[in-house]
Structure 1
Amino acid sequence: MASSSRKDYEIISDPFDPRCVIATFKALFGEVTEEDKLLLERIRGKEDNTSPKYTDQEERNLINKQIRKSQGFDVDFSKFRCLFDFYPSFLDECHSTLIRETDRKFFGRLAQESIADYNIREGTSFEFVEVDKANLFRDKGYTYFITFVAKDSCNKTKVFQAKVCNVLCREIEHSFCRLKPGQKIECYEDSKRVVKKPKYNTRSNNKRAGVITNVS
């Protein structure tokens, strides 16, 4: 599927679709452990009298509403007292035992690959600067929603969003990369370039040719 396809940007909520992203409770049965409580406090912050209090089902509806509205990139985790399989990354830690680097470095590499594909497709020359944040959805592997900063040839920074699928923690598939909605490209140097845009991004072509990128 081409990265410019509108479906790449949508959150699919059909449970029979393998690309479905619906947040569900981490613990469906049994009591929440002390470890879970500590993790929840790190995600949400300490609870006080001003903290919102919803029923479990209201929280589930709310997080999925936020996921659909922001297409996975902007979720206010401070509103939730339940743990879900959709959660934020702690960038200076590692979210998987199969990855030997911090999330900041890992998502940084994925963001650099995503912006390289974007430059080829759009005829621009953005350079990756840093990862701002990332959300993770864990199912049969991971889906990453990465927000990062890149600069153009005029040294102006823009915020980008990239969706990357890590199938069974092995195969990496770049779904799309885009400017965060509401921004404009203002660099005159890039606007003067005339670049023939390929129909598909390079990583999609690699996948069609049977090339697999492994997490290391």
Structure 2
Amino acid sequence: MTSSIDDKEKSDPCSPKHQKTEEETIWYDSDSDDSECVTPDEIQLYYDEWEKSQGFEMDFSKLTYCSSWKQLDLDDTTMADEPETNRELIAKFAKLALTKHNAEMDTSLELGNILRANYHPSAGVTLYISFEVNDPYDGNQTKPYRAVVRYFPGDIEVASCFPRPTS
């Protein structure tokens, strides 16, 4: 029989999906109710995905640990005000980034399709946007681009806009 003191010293176990031996598990506490326990392998997989995509095309289906990163559903309205969709809002951000890029690089690229947007909360929301551009000076070829845009209440900041690396 265990005493009430022993019961108080025990931690609640991770969900069965995440249970590991005590030596293999790292506990993360957060201010929210979604505290989770994560293994070093799960964290390494997250960092491998980050390194491979730099935050743009992360494969969240492989990850059990994502920190606060999420993929934005472009056809939903979770970030946009209806009747606008997330895709339309992200297109505005991509156009803003592309306008800045065109001015700095003396190009005339035109926004094509919005492919994907990943985000994480910061002081506002930082968005990692993958999209296509059309280059009228290169036979109207479609080229993959990326932009990082910070969306603060009442303010939008373009952090970067550049072609997607080939490798």
TM-score calculated relative to the size of structure 2: 0.70
| Equivalent residue, structure 1, for 2:88 | 105
Q: 87-96 vs 126-135, which deviates more? A: 87-96
Post-superposition offset of 1:120 = 1.1
Cα deviations by residue, 1:47-76 (Å, 9 ceiling, x for unpaired): xxxxxxxx5443233223322442211211
| Equivalent residue, structure 2, for 1:47 | none
Unmatched 5+ residue regions in structure 2? 1-28
SS of the equivalent of 2:77 reads: coil
Q: Equivalences for 1:141-152 in 2 at 5 Å?
A: 141-152=124-135
Is 2:154 the partner of 1:170?
A: yes
Post-superposition offset of 1:80 = 2.0
Post-superposition offset of 1:102 = 1.1
- For 2:35 and 2:57, how far apart are their aligned partners in 1? 25
Q: Which has the higher strand share?
A: 2
SS of the equivalent of 2:118 reads: strand
Aligned residues: 134
SS of the equivalent of 2:74 reads: coil
CA contact (8 A) 2:70 2:118 kept: yes
Is 2:121 the partner of 1:114?
A: no
CA contact (8 A) 2:117 2:130 kept: yes
Cα deviations by residue, 1:135-158 (Å, 9 ceiling, x for unpaired): 011233210000001101121100
Which structure has the bigger radius of gyration?
Answer: 2
Decide which of 121, 140, 158 is 1:155's aligned counterpart.
Answer: 140
Q: Which amino acid aligns with 2:166?
A: G
Following TM superposition, where does structure 1 have runs of at least 4 consecutive aligned residues deviating by more than 6 angstroms? Answer: none
CA separation of 1:71 and 1:82: change in aligned 2, threshold 3 A: closer
Q: Equivalences for 1:49-60 in 2 at 5 Å?
A: 56-60=39-43
TM-score calculated relative to the size of structure 1: 0.55
Identity among equivalent pairs (%)? 28
| Equivalent residue, structure 1, for 2:71 | 88
SS of the equivalent of 2:97 reads: helix
- For 1:81 and 1:180, how far apart are their aligned partners in 2? 26
- For 2:99 and 2:109, how far apart are their aligned partners in 1? 8
Q: Equivalences for 1:61-76 in 2 at 5 Å?
A: 61-76=44-59
Post-superposition offset of 1:121 = 1.0
